[in-house]
Chains A and B, each alone.
Chain A
Amino acid sequence: MATVASTDAPGPPRRARRSLSGFRERETWTAYLFILPWVIGFAALTAGPMVASLYFSFTNYGVEQIAGFAPTERVGLDNYRQLLDDPRIATSLQNTFVYTVMSVPAKMAVALGLAMILARLAHGAGFFRTVFYLPDITPPVAIGILILVLFNGSVGIVNRALEFIGIPGPFWTTDPNWIKPSLAIMSIWTVGGTMVIYLAALKAVPNHLYEAAAMDGAGPWRRFFNVTLPMISPALFFTFIVLTIAGLQTFTEVFTAYFGEGSAGAEDPDAALMNVVYLFRQAFEFFNMGFASAMAWLLFAIIMVITAIQFVVSRRFVFYQGGDER
Chain B
Amino acid sequence: MSAPAGLPTGGAGVVTPRVGHGLLGGVLRRGGGGGRRLFGRVRTFLFILLLTGISILAIYPFVWLLSASFKPQGDVFDNRLIPREWQWNYTGDPTPVAGDERLFALPDLPVLSWVWNSVWISLLAAVLVALSSALVAFAFAYFRFPGRGLLFALILATMMLPGAVTMIPVYLIWNELTLITGETGRLAFLPDIGVNTQYPLWVPNLFGSAFYIFLLRQFFLGIPRDLFEAARIDGDSYWTMFRRIAMPLAKPALIVVFIFELQAQWFDLLKPLIYLRDAALYTLPLGLKTILDQQGLGGGGEGRWEIIMAGTVVTVVPMLILFAIFQRYFVEGIATQGRKG
Q: A119 near B: Cβ within 8 Å?
A: yes
CA A146 – CA B173 in complex, angstroms? 36
Interface contact A234-B341, CB-CB below 8 Å: yes
Question: Known interface pairs A137-B319, A296-B162. Does A22 touch B144 (Cβ–Cβ under 8 Å)?
Answer: yes
Partner of B163, one of A19, A160, A249, A295: A249
Question: Known interface pairs A141-B315, A149-B305, A252-B270. Does A201 touch B139 (Cβ–Cβ under 8 Å)?
Answer: no
Q: Which residues of B contact A297 (CB under 8 A)?
A: 165
Interface set, chain A 235-286, CB cutoff 8 A to B: 235, 238-239, 241-242, 245, 249, 251-252, 255-256, 260-265, 276, 279-280, 283-284
Closest to B295 in A: A262
Binds B, one of A5-13, A79-87, A90-98, A298-306: A298-306
Q: A206 near B: Cβ within 8 Å?
A: yes
Q: Tell me the smallest distance from the CB of B59 to a CB of chain A, in Å.
A: 7
CA A150 – CA B12 in complex, angstroms? 46
Tell me which of A23, A42, A137 has the highest count of chain B C-beta atoms within 10 A of its own C-beta.
Answer: A137
How does the 8 Å CB contact mask read for B65-97 relative to A, with 1 for contact and 0 for none?
Answer: 100100000001101000000000000000000
Q: Which residues of B contact A32 (CB under 8 A)?
A: 145
- Using CB atoms and an 8 Å cutoff, list the residues of chain A in contact with chain B: 19-20, 22-23, 25, 27-28, 30-32, 34-35, 37-38, 40-42, 44-46, 48-50, 52-53, 56, 66, 114, 117-122, 124, 128-135, 137-142, 145-146, 148-150, 152, 154-157, 160, 173-174, 189, 192-193, 196-201, 204, 206-208, 210-217, 219-220, 223, 234-235, 238-239, 241-242, 245, 249, 251-252, 255-256, 260-265, 276, 279-280, 283-284, 289, 292-293, 295-297, 299-300, 303-304, 307
Q: B257 near A: Cβ within 8 Å?
A: no
Closest to A279 in B: B164
Interface contact B273-A30, CB-CB below 8 Å: no
CA A20 – CA B1 in complex, angstroms? 53
How does the 8 Å CB contact mask read for B129-159 relative to A, with 1 for contact and 0 for none?
Answer: 0001001101110011110100100110010
19 contacting pairs across A/B (C-beta < 8 A): A31-B143, A34-B138, A35-B151, A42-B207, A50-B169, A129-B331, A140-B267, A145-B288, A146-B312, A149-B309, A150-B61, A196-B335, A201-B339, A211-B9, A211-B28, A214-B20, A220-B23, A289-B172, A299-B165
Interface contact B1-A212, CB-CB below 8 Å: yes
Question: Known interface pairs A34-B143, A296-B168. Does A114 touch B54 (Cβ–Cβ under 8 Å)?
Answer: yes
Q: Which residues of B contact A148 (CB under 8 A)?
A: 296, 299
Closest to A22 in B: B146
CA A223 – CA B336 in complex, angstroms? 25
- Using CB atoms and an 8 Å cutoff, list the residues of chain B in contact with chain A: 1-3, 9-12, 16, 19-20, 23-24, 26-31, 44, 47-48, 50-51, 54-55, 57-62, 64-65, 68, 76-77, 79, 132, 135-136, 138-140, 143-146, 148, 151, 154-155, 158, 160-173, 175, 204, 206-208, 213, 238, 242, 263, 266-267, 269-270, 273-274, 284-285, 288-289, 292-294, 296-297, 299-301, 303, 305, 308-309, 312, 315-316, 319-320, 322-323, 327, 330-331, 334-339, 341
Q: Which residues of A contact B76 (CB under 8 A)?
A: 149
Interface contact B58-A131, CB-CB below 8 Å: yes
Interface contact A207-B28, CB-CB below 8 Å: yes
Tell me which of B28, B175, B322 has the highest count of chain A C-beta atoms within 10 A of its own C-beta.
Answer: B28
Partner of A155, one of B30, B58, B77, B319: B77
Interface contact B146-A28, CB-CB below 8 Å: yes
Interface contact B172-A31, CB-CB below 8 Å: no
Q: Which residues of B contact A22 (CB under 8 A)?
A: 144-146
Q: Which residues of B contact A132 (CB under 8 A)?
A: 54-55, 58
Interface contact B285-A139, CB-CB below 8 Å: yes
Interface contact A264-B164, CB-CB below 8 Å: no
CA A27 – CA B239 in complex, angstroms? 11
Q: Which residues of B contact A138 (CB under 8 A)?
A: 61, 316, 319
Interface contact A200-B338, CB-CB below 8 Å: yes
CA A20 – CA B308 in complex, angstroms? 62
